[in-house]
């Protein structure tokens, strides 16, 4: 047994003892993959797995490699934590105090060693307790071998040190998916209720946060993780939890099928397949020399053995089953390949996931339709479901269009990425067709809504018909039902916003500074648009969406810290990453609480646009009553008849005194209109025989403009003539003659 080789294997633990913090695990520290930091070397390490158990105070190791010649070397061990050097030591393997038989001298051929060795208390006490509790510790160990005397590098190995704990855990993804699912249920129940009564399905709904807003927030976090900057490992792991919102769902069987499809359509699987990723070591960096290492293998802990076994044989080779291949990744490629999706499979993965979702929507709605039809055959189902039974095809179409609207931003991203990084002509053709189809669908609805708004503006003076007209509401409301009537158009800049984000992120992949500045401009423009207009119907919608947009803009500002060109210290980057995680997690929790509140409010509050439209329909229905179609209006309770009609534009005339029966004398058409009006009968003894005529002052019983109009119509129709009075000089004679 070669205890010196075990001593060599335990040397990386000395660097762990100098760590001031980093990792989230059960008192275990282990190396996570390794990479060669020397292009051509005489010594090649093919396997390196070292695990330290703090409870047992033991080190378990598994090392294998080859050497082309025998030589005496010196070793230099450097350990860094968060960019700071925390341990550095050099030693001669041939010295009595640091003797390592396998390195004194280095043998020719293949060597390997596995085993377990106890660690002295002096070394174990150097490891701080915080090293076992911090998630995604940014610690790295580098071992250099140099020829003795000439200091020429003959080998260099770099390995990431982790405690096995990370913020990228399935539970976080499940919780996030549960929040999105709850938002979908709340929005879906509201949509089904509206469809059941013949109303709108309200794609995104008026209550915030809706399903579209929640998915947009999760997609924003995932897209932040795709930028080509030097993220700290803790934030990189955090953004992986939201990959499901962009369609990145690890599924090995599906990736294998996509690989088979690619190889038949011009793809190359040599270094871009799921099998390649399973044993590849990913080196994260932006090409500037700064990088971190991550081993893409199964998370298993090496079993501790009670003995050490070694093998030195110049005629045999080390096992290749555990050999690894180093590949440098950044940007979108780094994000998707950390999720076990090869970069060339990215678009096809999203396409298949979207197809599964569309199929689930169609099957679910049709199944519900079958249940209703079966229910109708054997009994009467609730009246509220009658509308859904009649409009289920429309409900299905609206659901698919809404899915397109939710995925449009990431769809643009993946299609452009497929054009620039894909290798299959068939996948590129599918990307082009689907991108044109999705853009065409959104452009069609945008044009139809704009056309309807323009027509309504010309005919009625405003665009309120988009909300009040039932046909328009059912067809198009999923685009604008959360906005005020004056801001129905805001969905257009929202679509442009999603398109611009996807284009910038995919087209500028590999250029972190360009991506960050362009994304910051886009986010600030959208934030300004929301603050200036405050377009949402409900005050809560304005507050929530403006706050989400503020966090998005501030997140991009923080991402500037990770841009390598700015040269920010790694400790500052790590603190910034932790702050980002805290803020984005807090906002996610707030959205989850608001979704629960909306589920309660939904039971007692109705969509305000739909409510007003229903009231107008009732009023119009009552105004259409006729003698032949009274609709039992005489039997209706007057107190239950809505009476909200206000005649604000009708002219108001003053109330005038009722005229006497001889008021016809005042009509302009009467030739005697200027004569003395008739008077009540007066006995002869009380009246004069020579009455003195007096001027007549007409009294009008109607508005002056009405008299003027009639005078203009009758003026000149007959020649004016002066009225004549009878001769009443001899009243008695006249009276006698009369009788």
Which residue, among 465, 460, 525, has the nearest Cα to 494 in the 3D structure?
A: 525
* pLDDT tier, 306 (very low <50, low <70, confident <90, very high otherwise): very low
State residue 580's pLDDT score.
Answer: 92
Euclidean distance between CA atoms 701 and 699, whole angstroms: 7
pLDDT in tens, 224-263: 999 999 888 889 989 999 999 999 988 889 999 999 999 9
Euclidean distance between CA atoms 661 and 668, whole angstroms: 16
Q: Which of 320-329, 412-421, 536-545 has the lowest mean pLDDT?
A: 320-329
* pLDDT tier, 288 (very low <50, low <70, confident <90, very high otherwise): very low
DSSP 315-384: TS---STT--EEEEE-HHHHHHHHTT--GGGHHHHHHHHHHHHHHHHHHHHHHHHHHHHHHHHHSPPPGG
SS3 280: strand
Euclidean distance between CA atoms 232 and 82, whole angstroms: 9
* pLDDT tier, 354 (very low <50, low <70, confident <90, very high otherwise): very high
Euclidean distance between CA atoms 218 and 339, whole angstroms: 16
SS3 106: strand
Euclidean distance between CA atoms 643 and 620, whole angstroms: 12
Euclidean distance between CA atoms 186 and 467, whole angstroms: 22
Q: Tell me if the pTM is above 0.85.
A: no
Instruction: Please report, in angstroms and rounded to a whole number, the separation of the first and last CA atoms in the chain.
Output: 163
Euclidean distance between CA atoms 28 and 51, whole angstroms: 7
pLDDT in tens, 640-669: 555 544 445 555 555 554 555 555 556 666
Whether residue 74 contacts residue 148, with contact meaning beta carbons closer than 8 Å, is answered with yes
Which residue, among 275, 278, 291, 277, has the nearest Cα to 328 in the 3D structure?
A: 291
Domain covering 28-162: architecture: Distorted Sandwich (2.70)
- Asked if the peptide bond before residue 42 counts as cis, ω within 30 degrees of 0, the response is no
pLDDT in tens, 546-585: 999 999 999 999 999 999 888 888 888 888 988 999 999 9
Which residue, among 422, 511, 584, 430, has the nearest Cα to 226 in the 3D structure?
A: 511
Burial class of 120 by CB neighbour count within 10 A (0 to 12, 13 to 18, 19+): exposed
Whether the pLDDT of residue 673 is over 80: the answer is no
Residue, of 423 and 657, whose pLDDT is higher: 423
Whether residue 674 contacts residue 725, with contact meaning beta carbons closer than 8 Å, is answered with no
What 8-state DSSP symbol labels residue 536?
B
Average pLDDT over residues 113-136: 71
- Cβ-based neighbours of 711, under 8 Å, separated by 6 or more: 668
Long-range own/partner contacts, residues 602-607 (CB < 8 A, 24 or more apart):
602/186, 602/189, 602/190, 602/207, 607/190, 607/194, 607/199, 607/200, 607/202, 607/205, 607/206, 607/481
């Amino acid at each position: 047994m070669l205890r010196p080789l075990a001593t060599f294997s335990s040397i990386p633990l000395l660097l762990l003892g100098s760590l001031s913090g980093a990792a989230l695990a059960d008192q275990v520290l282990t190396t996570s993959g390794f990479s060669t930091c020397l292009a051509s070397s005489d010594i090649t390490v093919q396997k390196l797995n070292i695990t330290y158990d703090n409870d047992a105070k033991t080190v378990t190791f598994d090392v294998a490699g080859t050497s082309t010649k025998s030589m005496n070397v010196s070793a230099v061990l450097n350990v860094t934590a968060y960019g700071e050097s925390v341990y550095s030591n050099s030693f001669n393997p041939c010295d009595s105090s640091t003797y390592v038989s396998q390195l004194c001298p280095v043998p020719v051929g293949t060597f390997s060693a596995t085993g377990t060795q106890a660690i002295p208390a002096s070394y174990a006490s150097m490891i701080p307790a915080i090293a076992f509790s911090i998630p995604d510790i940014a610690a790295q160990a580098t071992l250099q071998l140099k020829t003795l005397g000439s200091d020429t590098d003959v080998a260099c190995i770099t390995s990431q040190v982790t405690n096995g704990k990370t913020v990228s855990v399935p539970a976080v993804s499940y919780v996030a998916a549960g929040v999105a699912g709850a938002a979908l249920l709340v929005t879906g129940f509201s949509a089904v209720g509206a469809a059941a009564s013949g109303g709108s399905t309200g794609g995104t709904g008026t209550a915030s946060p809706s399903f579209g807003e929640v998915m947009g927030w999760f997609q924003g976090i995932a897209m932040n993780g795709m930028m080509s900057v030097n993220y700290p490992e803790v934030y990189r792991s955090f953004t992986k939890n939201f990959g499901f919102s962009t369609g990145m769902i690890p599924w090995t069987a599906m990736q294998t099928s996509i690989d088979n499809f690619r190889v038949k359509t011009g793809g190359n699987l040599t270094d871009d397949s799921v099998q390649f990723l399973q044993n590849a070591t990913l080196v994260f960096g932006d090409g500037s020399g700064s990088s971190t290492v991550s081993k893409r293998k199964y998370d298993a802990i090496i079993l501790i053995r009670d003995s050490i076994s070694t093998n030195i044989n110049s005629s045999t080779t080390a096992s290749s089953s555990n050999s690894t291949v180093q590949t440098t990744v950044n940007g979108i490629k780094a994000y998707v390949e950390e999720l076990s999706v090869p970069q060339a499979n990215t678009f096809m993965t999203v396409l298949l996931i979207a197809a599964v979702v569309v199929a689930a929507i169609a099957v679910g709605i049709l199944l519900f339709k079958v249940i209703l039809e079966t229910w109708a055959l054997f009994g009467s189902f609730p009246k509220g479901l009658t509308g859904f039974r009649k409009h289920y095809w429309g409900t299905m179409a609206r659901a698919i269009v809404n899915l397109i609207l939710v995925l449009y931003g990431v769809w643009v991203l993946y299609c452009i990425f497929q054009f620039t990084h894909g290798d299959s002509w068939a996948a590129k053709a599918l990307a082009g067709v689907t991108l044109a189809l999705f853009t065409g669908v959104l452009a069609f609805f945008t044009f139809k809504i704009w056309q309807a708004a323009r027509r309504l503006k010309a005919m009625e003076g405003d665009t309120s018909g988009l909300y009040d007209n039932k046909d328009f509401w059912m067809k198009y409301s999923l685009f604008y039902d959360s906005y005020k009537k004056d801001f129905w158009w805001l969905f257009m800049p929202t679509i442009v916003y999603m398109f611009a984000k996807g284009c910038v992120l995919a087209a500028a992949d590999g250029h972190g500074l360009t991506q960050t500045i362009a994304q910051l401009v886009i986010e600030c423009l959208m934030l300004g648009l929301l603050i200036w207009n405050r377009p949402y119907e409900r005050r809560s919608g304005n507050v929530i969406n403006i706050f989400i947009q503020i966090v998005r803009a501030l997140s991009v500002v923080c991402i500037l810290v990770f841009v390598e060109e700015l040269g920010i210290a790694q400790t500052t980057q790590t603190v910034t990453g932790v702050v980002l995680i805290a803020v984005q997690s807090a906002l996610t929790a707030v959205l989850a609480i608001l979704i629960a509140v909306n589920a309660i409010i939904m039971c007692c509050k109705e969509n305000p646009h739909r409510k007003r439209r229903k009231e107008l329909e009732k009023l119009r229905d009552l105004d259409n009553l006729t003698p032949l179609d009274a609709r039992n209006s005489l039997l209706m309770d007057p107190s239950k008849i809505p009476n909200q009609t206000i005649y604000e534009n009708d002219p108001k005339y003053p109330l005038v005194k009722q005229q006497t029966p001889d008021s016809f004398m005042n009509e302009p058409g009467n030739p005697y209109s200027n004569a003395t009006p008739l008077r009540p009968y007066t006995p002869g003894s009380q009246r004069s025989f020579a009455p003195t005529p007096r001027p007549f002052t007409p009294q009008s019983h109607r508005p002056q403009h009405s008299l003027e109009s009639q005078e203009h119509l009758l003026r000149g129709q007959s020649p004016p003539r002066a009225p004549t009075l009878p001769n009443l000089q001899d009243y008695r004679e006249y009276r006698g003659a009369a009788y």
